[in-house]
Amino acid sequence: MTRVSPIDGHELWAPSYDSGPNPLLALESRILLALLGPVDGLSVVDIACGTGRWTERLFRLGANVTGVDACAGMLARAAAKRSIRRLLVLADARALPLRASIADLVICSFAIGYFTRLGPAFAEMARITRPGGIVATSDLHPAAVSAGWTRSFRIGEAVYQIEHFARSRDQITRGARRAGLQLQLQAGYRFGRPERSVFAAAGKRDRFTAACQVPAVWIGLWRKP
């Protein structure tokens, strides 16, 4: 297994990122979409948007979305989706080229573990959020990391593991609080029946039962006062 940096890893992963079924993304999408509620008419910024999974989905639900990512390869894949190609920005989450207080909702999906320092990223997310707005983050659950789950992908016979920081929920919460955000919800979620078919499609049917024993996805919601 080859270890790669977050940017290098996602450059390599970009061409195949959308091609295979991913149980983690399926679980997160199912839970987070229900937690967010209606987004029609909201101004949304999707931080670390990758290939535009959330950007495209929220756009189709009526939100005014901007997708931001630091990986050119992932953004190129997102730009291939015609509905969002003009909604994308290449930028670092620690220095967003966006005005203050422009977003009703900021989403940062499966990226917290890639930031070398949480403080600057949370500070920028808080800065662009309007008073009363929500910052929603998700990531691989700390318990899953402790159980040996990795952020890895395969290209042919080669397996790549993306370097990341294993942070506790308390560490993440402190980072958000220092940015002036108020915790609304913090919870872990396990795979359920809806993800069984995703495991099967990914050729991992035999891993489903064991995977259900560990919290897989962590979600945190904060409000900007």
Integer Cα distance of 98 and 124 in angstroms: 9
The C-alpha angle with vertex 13 and arms to 8 and 144, in degrees rounded to 5, equals: 90
Q: Which amino acid is at 135?
A: V
The partner residues of 47 in beta bridges, in order of sequence, read 68, 108
CATH code for the domain defined by 2-41+97-223? 3.40.50.150
154 neighbors 101 (Cβ within 8 angstroms): no
Name the packing angle between helices 6-13 and 72-79 (round to 10°). 30
Integer Cα distance of 88 and 56 in angstroms: 11
Q: Give alpha helix (H) positions in 14-147.
A: 23-36, 53-60, 72-79, 118-128, 142-146
Q: Which of 6, 19, 36 is nearest to 138 (CA)?
A: 36
Write out the E strands in the chain: 2-4, 43-47, 64-69, 88-90, 103-109, 129-140, 152-155, 158-162, 182-189, 217-223
pLDDT in tens, the chain (225 residues): 899 999 999 999 999 999 989 999 999 999 999 999 999 999 999 999 999 999 999 999 999 999 999 999 999 999 999 999 999 999 999 999 999 999 999 999 999 999 999 999 999 999 999 999 999 999 999 999 999 999 999 999 999 999 999 888 899 999 999 999 999 999 999 999 999 999 999 999 999 999 999 999 999 999 999
